[in-house]
Structure 1
């Protein structure tokens, strides 16, 4: 039971951490404290009676203050910019040290399925060995996982590691917000036959809360996914029906690589599309602030009025987006994630299939005017 327990959440202004804070307050009666780096992003959780401490996870004094008096710590924070990989690792160590000093009862770390990338075809479970890769995100997340588990083995840090798969749902940055924005602007060159392992955000949050309460889970990793694997075509198809658009251009992997080699690299679009994929709205806002574009934008806005945001012609084909290497490997892999361990030790059972999860996501997309 979490009722009345003091818990700390790092990354509570983000997708998973924000929903975790909501559920702990609304359904579990927890006393929630959050460590906030940027208060401009805290509006979602500010409507609750939460204790907010401002500061960075790398600041030992602030982290010590945040952990003091807590029963449970949920570590959801991660800076996704590659240049801050060392900062993520340093922050993890600072947090682990503080948790040991204050003798917390349970530490739950949010990791990712990406630690197993590039995924191999076939079943994937917690016994699957991580591969050697130069991709920054999985390397960084695996290093943090290993750090926490070493702290368990050497010093007794009571940590459980949760490895979510493809997490979507309301306020979801990569697989919802950015996905919808991309789908309205591009078509995707998608490898035929690749498998997707989606999981609705509430299922992930429930697994975190289970990991904070169950016995026999310390020192363990848990993959968290939906009840079954589907194809990426089915996953994107749910968004296509939601938005009333066509997004997927199914192709063989060899065809996609040929397109990338002959066009994308030659004309310098690859780096620009990577940035657009990561944060398309920020790119758009930056362009609007550029004086030549800003003048045209204001002129068009004043002359077209309400029709300004509408497409000029639905007949114009959307440009083709070719995924970069890491994403292409993910889309092409025929990997099926197994959640037997989470079912057995955590008592985890997914409550949301794709239809139910996407139905709720559609309501959010409409509300957020994405």
Structure 2
């Protein structure tokens, strides 16, 4: 297969490209604008492969997209390009509206034109996988799981922009017959994750002897999914998912944020012991606005219909992740200059 992957220099997109090219032997056309979140060093393993191609393109640039489709003639699209940091969306929503909504519209239109140019066999095989997030569903209480039928209830500019993009993708299936499939995933973690994100930030701050800032009281719950498991799920959904359907991807690994940070500290005690406990670096900071209490994905549809199963549980995945950061300073050290603080931390109110 020849797959056009938008956002292929990002965290999840690069895992998808490495899986497509390195493990499956397919061709990946990486379309990425290379914003702060895009880093070609994440693709070092496959950069010299004849099956890997990079196109520096903004997904909001329709003419450039049309050119990529005409030159590469992909068999499928995996649309991952997005502004994806909740904290950044709170202080700079405009980029999220532009990339996540307008960019998705341009991608759908470019793909629709390409789809129209295909012969019958090409049309039958073509798929447009739109990759989204569980945050479009809003927040859960203490019980229950997000299902594919859960009503949308986004609460941040990021999740609202992704919900909008999901609706666009579904509309292009219903209105124009574009063969769309949608996925919604839980929180990802693993190698090559930007140092500003929770898990790598805690690992690297701990190693540097810096505070480990936890929002509120740390009771917010997330379902964690190892990024390589997600990449495999996305390929499964793209190739075997039913058109017009949505599939939730989750790791069945619920943890409070505080539990995640404490486990990172425990593992570092084993792998890189020091004189004082890492847990002494944990600090509690002002909660961010609209911080959803709990996310948890029900992946039963994906597991039962398409046969996907997560290979890593949180315990095995977090150990692999921490060891990767210990072994790969070459990758993360250049990115650490502006990544030592939580992006959404608010100044405490004065009396």
Larger Rg: 1
The aligned length equals 296
The answer on whether the counterparts of 1:12 and 1:36 sit within 8 Å (CA) in structure 2 is yes
Secondary structure of 2:9's match? coil
Q: Is residue 2:98 matched to residue 1:87? A: yes
Question: Given the alignment of the two structures, is residue 13 of structure 1 paired with residue 32 of structure 2, yes or no?
Answer: no
Please tell me whether the aligned partners of residues 4 and 28 of structure 2 are also in contact (alpha carbons under 8 angstroms): yes
User: Using a 3 Å threshold, how does the CA distance of structure 1 residues 192 and 32 change in structure 2: closer, same or farther?
Assistant: closer
The one of 276, 297, 320 aligned to 1:337: 297
Is it true that 1:347 corresponds to 2:307 in the alignment?
Answer: yes
TM-score (norm 1): 0.72
Preserved contact between residue 200 and residue 352 of structure 1 (Cα < 8 Å): yes
Structure-to-structure mapping, 1:111-260, within 5 angstroms = 111-123=132-144, 124-131=146-153, 133=155, 135-173=156-194, 174-181=197-204, 184-188=210-214, 191=217, 194-215=220-241, 217-244=242-269
Q: Does 1:356 align with 2:320?
A: no
Residue 325 of structure 1: SS of its match in structure 2?
Answer: coil
Which residue of the partner structure matches residue 42 of structure 1? 40
Q: 1:240 to 1:66 in 2, by over 3 A?
A: same
State the match for 2:113 in structure 1. Answer: 101
**Structure 1 residues 222 and 314, CA, compared in 2 at 3 Å: closer, same or farther?**
closer
Q: CA deviation at 1:348?
A: 1.6
Deviations 1:238-277 (A, max 9, x none): 21213339xxxxxxxxxxxxxxxxxxxxxxxxxxxxxxxx
CA distance in 2, matches of 1:188, 1:17: 27
Secondary structure of the 1:142 match is helix
Equivalent position to 1:76, from 52, 70, 80? 80
SS, match of residue 73 in structure 1: strand
The corresponding residue for 2:337 is none
Which residues of structure 2 form unaligned runs of 5+? 116-122, 333-351
User: 1:44 and 1:336, CA in 2 relative to 1: closer, same or farther beyond 3 A?
Assistant: closer
Secondary structure, counterpart of 1:138 in structure 2: helix
Partners of 2:203 and 2:322 within 8 A in 1: no
**Does the CA contact (< 8 Å) of 2:30 and 2:55 recur in 1?**
yes
Checking the alignment, whether the CA contact within 8 Å between 1:111 and 1:162 is kept in structure 2 is yes
Q: Is the 8 A contact 1:25 1:31 kept in 2?
A: yes
Q: Distance in 2 between matches of 1:343 and 1:244?
A: 35
Q: In structure 2, the residue corresponding to 1:326 is in which secondary structure?
A: coil
Match of 2:336 in 1: none
Residue 254 of structure 1 corresponds to which residue in structure 2?
A: none
| Structure richer in helix, relative to its length | 1
Counterpart Cα distance in 1 of 2:98 and 2:83:
8
Structure 1 CA distance for aligned equivalents of residues 259 and 42 of structure 2: 31
Mean Cα displacement is larger for which, 111-120 or 10-19?
A: 111-120
Superposed displacement of residue 315, structure 1: 12
CA offset at residue 28 of structure 1?
0.9
Contact 2:2-2:75 at 8 Å conserved across structures: yes
Shift of residue 9 of structure 1? 0.7
> Alpha carbons of 1:164 and 1:311: their partners in 2 closer, same or farther (altered >3 Å)?
same
Measured at CA, do residues 179 and 157 of structure 1 come closer, stay the same or move farther in structure 2, by a change above 3 Å?
Answer: farther
- Aligned-pair distance for 1:368? 3.2
Distance (Å, rounded) in 1 between the aligned partners of 2:29 and 2:132: 21
Do the aligned partners of residues 102 and 235 (structure 1) sit closer, same or farther apart at CA in structure 2, a change above 3 Å counting? Answer: same
SS in structure 2 of the partner of residue 244 of structure 1:
helix
How far is the alpha carbon of 1:212 from its aligned partner?
A: 1.5
The question of 1:30 aligning with 2:26 is answered yes
Residue 220 (structure 1) shift? 1.6
Deviation at 1:320, TM superposition (A): 3.1
TM-score (norm 2): 0.76
Tell me, in whole angstroms, the C-alpha distance in 2 between the residues paired with 1:340 and 1:316: 39
* 1:138-174 residue CA offsets vs partner (Å, 9 max, x unmatched): 1000000000000000011111111111111111232
